[in-house]
Amino acid sequence: MSALQRLFGFHGGVKPAYHKEASTTAPIAVAPTPTRLVIPLHQSIGGPPRPLVKPGERVLKGQRIGSADGNVSSAVHASTSGTVVAVEMCLMPHTSGLSALCVVIEPDGRDEWIALQAFDYRAATPTQTRDYLRDAGVVGLGGAVFPTYLKLNAGKQGKLETLVLNGAECEPFITCDDVLMRERADAILRGAVIMREMLAAGQVLVGIEDNKPEAVAAMEAAARAVNAASGDDAIRVVAVPTRYPAGGAKQLIRVLTGIEVPHGERSTDYGVQCFNVGTAYAIHEAIELGQPLISRIVTVAGNVGHARNYQVLFGTPMKDLIALCAPLPDSDRVIMGGPMMGFLMPADQVPVVKATNCVLVGSKKLFPPPPPEMPCIRCGECAKVCPADLQPFEMYWFSRARIFGKAQEYNLFDCIECGCCAYVCPSRIPLVDYYRFAKSEIWTREVEKEAADEARERYEFRLLREEREKQEKAAKLAAKTAAGREKAAAAVAEAQKPAVTPEEDAKKALIAAALERVKTQKELVHPENTVDLTPEQQAEVAAIEARRAEIREMAKPHLRQDD
Amino acid sequence: MNNSPYFLQPASVQSVMLRVLLALLPGIAIYVWFFGAAVLVQIALASVTALAAEAAMLKARGKPLLMFLGDGSALVTAWLIALTFPPIAPWWLTVIGVLTAIVIAKHLYGGLGQNPFNPAMVAFALMIVAYPSLMSQWPAVGFTDFLPQWNAIFGTRQLDAITMATPLDALRTALHTADARATVAGVLGNDATFGNIGGKGWEWVAAGYFLGGIYLLQQRIITWHMPAAFLATLFLISGGFALYDPTRFVGPSFHLFTGGAMLGAFFIVTDPVSGCTTPRGKLIFAAGIALLTWVIRTFGAYPDGIAFAVLLMNIAAPLIDMYTQPPVFGHKNKRGGPP
């Protein structure tokens, strides 16, 4: 099957040591339920869900505890049955150490499911199915956690050429997709069949790096069965050359179809959509078993005695998970994700969330601190390996000099932060840090500019209003004077004539209307984004500010080296 | 505390520079065979001067001494100066050249990675303008006695008996100043300076540099673009003019295998700091150097044109880079369809 597939290359890429064997020797194990689950409400891209439970409430396994809020959001569920002990701010699995609203559940040990019912997606409209998946909390499990229901939309043409399933898993150490494909290939493809129907996709291409022959074989066997049943040979498993970052969605789409989806555009406009294999599995669970997304496969690897993959309930502290794997005594950090793109955790008690594909235990020996940074010698190694065809050293140059406009001209925002450039740099420059810094500075400036624009508009409106009020006052005064004169004349002639003339009445109404207009307009320009915030939103705003300050702080030593 | 990526490929500026030095060794060995050990004295002299100047400048600029002194970049500059200057040049010529390169062309522009001009070529250009005759005296091929060469370097006067002009110089002088009937074939046939395809001895040294260049390509320290564009352009333009008038224009083999052509193609033109960085830019940059080199060699007054050609193209490098940016992922074909 795979021999027939024409493959395309992508520019650049690197071949780091993969370290994948250690965690693939044993099958997936179920991680024990911890004594306390801390389930963050905000586990996907988009708006944070609203909490649906209160402390003291009993919840069942799979019960919705956070409902999707807004157009881009995804629901969150209780991972097991038990009692909600708190809905409070807890430390998140995020480098900055920010806290966010979490539902803390004390499991009752009974692991009691809600009433499970499969969803008949064939009888439902596509919108209903999408809403169902949103409420089932299904998000992209490759690490980006984008709400899946939003991607299950065939776009302008109403159909797609190709549905790509991403099983490439190019990051070193991570094997959660590998073992999932080895052990649950049928279920993954059942999910893929549902996706294919929803997207009206012509073919399904499963891209797997060729360093995972067992996964390729398992998926091929499952694909044969599905193809035989459907009779249209639509699902093809393709072994792609092992080269980081072949598992980047855009890179994999390029390798399998030759299509390059530009930054900021929808892949569906190019007739292709890409999902992680774990997401396909989650769709199968949600639709065919009625189970919302409450757990995922997580690789625990790195500086541990027994690296392994676990089925982990969301909310399980990483600490508990690491303890299962005999961490070595010199372990000094926990990274979520792989060594190329992973994030340093602020502490090891942070919970496993939907984005947690790997809990990587680090040590000084495994990930030695980089040697001192040298000046860039423009050797161009970074450009050779950049999978986005960028000129990383130019972006570095301008980011470092804070010439952000030029950095953007060199397509800074096309950078996928894969880390290839920093990986090969002979001057050991933490290039990706510079890009993150530049991006966050640009974002900050855009926000500030928006705020300034708003302030200027407010100010201009005030001037306008004052001018108008002045005119109205003058008109009023003129009217008054005129009326006074009239009145005086009238008083002489006729003392009991009504004081208010019809003319005056109309003027008053006009003024009242003007004032009303001013008032409503004033309300309109009120900064609605920053009022009536919930405590969590306020906390998030504060956290974002803190993160920005931290990034600036981090960037300072690099910037001070300037001559 | 650091951010991803958490592990890095073992590579360093030092290892890049050391491999460049290693790649120079075959050429140097052949050089010694044909022209004597004087070049080794020059290399030592240049290296010591370069390291001293580098250390002094780093100290003056308040930079960490050991980290930068060990990066090897000063040594590469020093070796290139020693190899492009005449091996029997007086010691102070080399010392001034190296000081110019390290102090002015490198550190006053901001140090490693910041210099817009190739430091070794700045030194060469300055010295050939200031001391044209000293910069043109080469030891005669086969005259490898060490003592006279040593005396030439450290003595007070030049020993004319052991020197001769370089093949490029000899040919140019013969064609320009001798009687109008002088032809390329006539000059090449009547002089011991000339070898089978290039200059006598020179052609073998060039072969040594070529070998080193292949090593640099294999090590992926340089890409094929610059050497290929440089050599191909030099070949085409000299070949074209030699076909047009073989009596006045010498053929491509002579151009490629004399003077600094081969050293330039792999070790000088390819300097990443002062050159172009985009693939198309590299081709244009190197082709431009080849073109200018041929023009200066053929019509100019200097024995070799590479230094001036490199400096002129260094000026143009940022502009060339700007106009040759490769398309970014997804920007190649606006439709995004298969290529």
Task: Give chain B as a 3 state SS string.
Answer: CCCCCCCCCCCCHHHHHHHHHHHHHHHHHHHHHHHCCHHHHHHHHHHHHHHHHHHHHHHHCCCCHHHHHCCCHHHHHHHHHHHHCCCCCCHHHHHHHHHHHHHHHHHHHCCCCCCCCCHHHHHHHHHHHHCCCHHHCEECCCCCCHHHHHHHHHCCCCCHHHEECCHHHHHHHHHHHCCCCCCHHHHHHCCCCECCCCECCHHHHHHHHHHHHHHHHHCCCCCCHHHHHHHHHHHHHHHHHHHHCCCCCCCHHHHHCCCCHHHHHHHHCCCCCCCCCCHHHHHHHHHHHHHHHHHHHHHCCCCCCHHHHHHHHHHHHHHHHHHCCCCCCCCCCCCCCCC
To the nearest whole percent, how much of chain A has pLDDT over 70?
91
Higher pLDDT, A526 or B285: B285
Check CB contact under 8 Å for B113 and A427: yes
Q: How far apart are CA A139 and CA A121, in angstroms?
A: 18
Q: Which fold has domain A121-290?
A: Rossmann fold (3.40.50)
Contact (CB<8Å) A423/B8: yes
Which parts of A6-159 are beta strand (E)? Answer: 29-30, 37-40, 50-51, 58-59, 64-67, 76-77, 82-91, 99-107
Compare CB distances from B272 to A258, A380, A390 and report the shortest one's residue: A380
Residues of chain B neighbouring A380 (CB-CB closer than 8 A): 223, 272, 277
Q: Per the CB < 8 Å rule, is B329 touching A376?
A: no
Indicate if the pLDDT at residue A8 is higher than 60: yes
* A341 interface with B at CB cutoff 8 Å: yes
User: Are A391 and B272 in contact (CB < 8 Å)?
Assistant: no
- Which chain B positions have a beta carbon within 8 Å of A250's beta carbon? 329-330
Do residue B11 and residue A424 have CB atoms under 8 angstroms apart? Answer: yes
Residue A537 has pLDDT above 80, yes or no: no
**How does DSSP assign A165-230, residue by residue?**
EE----STT--HHHHHHHH-HHHHHHHHHHHHHHHTEEEEEEEEETT-HHHHHHHHHHHHHHHHHH
Partners of residue A203 on adjacent β-strands:
A162
Whether the pLDDT of residue A372 is over 90: the answer is no
Averaging pLDDT over each range in A66-70, A135-139, A367-371, A527-531, which range is the top one? A135-139
A15 touches chain B (CB under 8 A): no
CB B2 to CB A419 under 8 A? no
Instruction: Return d(Cα A396, Cα A388) in angstroms, integer.
Output: 15
CB contacts < 8 A (A, B): 157
Q: What is the model's pLDDT at position B157?
A: 59
- pLDDT per residue as tens, chain B (339 positions): 468 899 888 888 999 999 999 999 999 999 999 888 999 999 999 999 999 999 999 999 998 888 888 889 999 999 999 999 999 899 999 999 999 999 999 999 999 999 999 999 999 999 999 998 888 888 877 777 888 888 888 886 556 656 777 788 778 777 776 566 667 777 777 666 676 676 778 889 999 999 999 999 999 999 999 999 999 999 999 999 999 988 888 889 889 988 889 999 999 999 999 999 999 999 999 999 999 999 999 888 887 889 999 999 999 999 999 999 999 988 865 444 343
- Complete edge-to-edge strand list for the sheet that includes strand A331-336: A29-30, A308-313, A295-302, A358-363, A331-336, A343-344
pLDDT of residue A547: 74
Q: What is the pLDDT of residue B336?
A: 40
Going by pLDDT thresholds of 50, 70 and 90, the confidence category of residue A255 is very high
Q: In the prediction, which pLDDT does B115 show?
A: 94
What integer is the mean pLDDT of A551-560? 61
> Which one is predicted more confidently, A551 or B249?
B249
Bond preceding residue A392 cis, omega within 30 of 0: no
Residue whose token pair is 């019509």: B299
| Residues in A 481-520 with any Cβ partner in B closer than 8 A | none
A521: tokens are 């307009």
Instruction: List the domain boundaries for chain A.
Output: 121-290, 297-363, 373-527+543-563
- Locate all alpha helices (DSSP H) within A324-391, ordered by sequence: 381-385
Which pLDDT value is given to residue B200? 78
Strand order of the sheet with strand A82-91? Answer: A37-40, A99-107, A82-91, A58-59
Q: Is it the case that residue A393 has pLDDT exceeding 90?
A: yes
Q: Mean pLDDT over residues A470-488, rounded?
A: 85
When pLDDT is cut at 50, 70 and 90, the band that residue A260 belongs to is: very high
CA B171-B174-B180 angle, to 5 degrees, is 130
pLDDT band at A264 (very low <50, low <70, confident <90, very high): confident
Cα–chain-centroid distance for residue B63?
Answer: 28
pLDDT tens across A111-129, in order?
999 999 999 999 999 899 9
Residues 6+ apart with CB under 8 A from A92: A40, A98, A99, A100, A350
- The nearest alpha carbon in chain A to B5 belongs to A340
pLDDT tens for A188-227 read 999 999 999 999 999 999 999 999 999 999 999 999 999 9
The answer, yes or no, to whether residue A509 has pLDDT greater than 90, is: no
Per the CB < 8 Å rule, is B2 touching A376?
Answer: no
What pLDDT does B339 receive? Answer: 38
Task: Tell whether the model's pLDDT for residue A555 goes beyond 70.
Answer: no
The mean pLDDT value of chain A amounts to 89
Give the C-alpha separation, A359 to A175, whole Å.
11
ipTM of the complex: 0.87
What mean pLDDT is predicted for residues A435-454? Answer: 91
Task: For chain A, positions 57-116, list CB contacts with chain B under 8 A.
Answer: 95
pLDDT at A461 over 60: yes
Kindly identify which residue of chain A lies nearest to residue B333, measuring between CA atoms.
A260
Decide if B124 contacts B307 (C-beta within 8 A): yes
Nearest C-alpha of chain A: how many angstroms from B270?
Answer: 10
> In Å, what is the CA distance from A99 to each residue of A41, A42, A70, A96, A535?
11, 11, 21, 9, 11
Beta carbons of B270 and B263 less than 8 angstroms apart:
no
Query: Residue B123 and residue B95: Cα distance in Å, rounded?
Result: 10
CA distance A442 to chain B (A): 20
Q: How many angstroms separate the most distant Cα atoms in chain A?
A: 111
Does the pLDDT at position A330 exceed 50? yes
Q: Which contacts (CB < 8 Å, 24+ apart) does range A149-155 have?
A: A149/A74, A150/A72, A151/A273, A151/A275, A152/A126, A152/A195, A152/A198, A152/A199, A153/A126, A153/A199, A153/A268, A154/A198, A154/A199, A154/A200, A154/A201, A154/A268, A155/A266, A155/A268, A155/A269
Where are chain B's structural domains? 12-164, 167-324
Q: Do B338 and A259 touch (CB under 8 A)?
A: yes
* Distances, alpha carbon A548 to alpha carbons A109, A534, A556, B135, in Å: 42, 21, 12, 58
Whether residues B5 and A422 touch (CB distance < 8 A) is answered with: yes
How many CB atoms are closer than 10 A to CB A365? Answer: 11
Contact between A292 and A137 (Cβ < 8 Å): yes
DSSP state of A289: S
| Chain B CB contacts of A414 below 8 Å | 328-330
| C-beta atoms surrounding A474 within 10 Å | 10
B-proximal residues of A, 410-429, CB under 8 Å: 410-411, 414, 419, 422-428
Chain A CA closest to residue B109: A563
Asked if the model's pLDDT at residue A181 lies above 50, the reply is yes
Which amino acid, B6? Y
Residue A435 — pLDDT band, cuts 50, 70, 90?
Answer: very high
Residue B65 near residue B113, CB atoms below 8 Å = no
Q: How many whole angstroms separate alpha carbon B189 and alpha carbon B195?
A: 9
Mutate to test the interface with A, among B2, B4, B321 (most CBs of A within 10 A): B4
Q: Which of B149, B209, B193, B167 lies closest to B28 in space, CA to CA?
A: B209
